[in-house]
């Protein structure tokens, strides 16, 4: 028994909303700023939660 996959190729762009649409320009600066904001938020939460965990350990002892 065998299986075959059939792929239909079309020359037109996909219909509907896509992640990287053909006619939509990328927002490189906005994407970079968002990445920095997410990274800074992660660092801040780790620092705050790390300090809270240290305080909790001292309180338990």
For residue 46 the two structure tokens come to 């780790």
Mean pLDDT, all residues of the chain: 75
Predicted confidence at residue 27, as pLDDT, reads 87
DSSP letters for 34-50: HHHHHHHHHHHHHHHHH
pLDDT digits (tens, 9 = 90+) for 19-42: 655 666 778 999 999 999 999 998
Q: Rounded mean pLDDT of 47-54?
A: 74
User: pTM for the whole thing?
Assistant: 0.44
Q: Are the beta carbons of 38 and 46 closer than 8 angstroms?
A: no
Predicted confidence at residue 46, as pLDDT, reads 84
């Amino acid at each position: 028994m065998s299986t075959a996959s059939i792929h239909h190729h079309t020359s037109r762009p996909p219909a509907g909303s896509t992640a990287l649409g053909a006619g939509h320009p990328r927002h490189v600066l906005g994407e970079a700023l968002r990445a920095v904001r997410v990274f800074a938020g992660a660092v801040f939460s780790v620092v705050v939660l790390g300090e809270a965990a240290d305080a909790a350990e001292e309180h338990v002892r």
